[in-house]
Amino acid sequence: MTNRDWPLWEVFVRSRRGLSHVHAGSLHAPDAALALRNARDLYTRRQEGVSVWVVPSAQITASSPDERDPFFEPAADKAYRHPTFYDLPDGVKGL
């Protein structure tokens, strides 16, 4: 098995505690342990991260941008999720 035959892994790095993991890139590796080690070496060389996730690319299911309107249409029926029905006191700032 050559490097090109290895599965593709997506790498997510969290730069500091309290922040979300962010997609950093992709790499090929034969298994999860080596993918994690390679991701650490490749994407956190300068100590940019406190946590690394690796996910097999084949296991990711995503919506299509071409189907955006029909896919997200049910969310338009939930107007109560928007803060348009609330009156804020004058002293409240930053919302």
The CATH number of the domain holding residue 30 is 3.10.20.520
Mean pLDDT computed over 53-60: 96
9 belongs to a structural domain: yes
- Within a domain: 46: yes
Residue 39 has pLDDT above 80, yes or no: yes
Number of domains in the chain: 1
13 or 93, which is more confident? 13
48 domain residue, yes or no: yes
Q: Which long-range contacts (CB under 8 A, 24 or more apart) does 27-32 make?
A: 28/3, 28/4, 29/54, 30/1, 30/6, 32/56
Greater model confidence, 37 or 66: 37
Please say whether the beta carbons of 22 and 13 come within 8 A: yes
In a domain, 92, yes or no: no
Give Rg (Cα) of the chain. Answer: 20
Amino acid, res. 68: R
Confidence of residue 11 (pLDDT cuts 50, 70, 90): very high
Structural domain contains residue 71: no
Domain that holds residue 40: 1-59
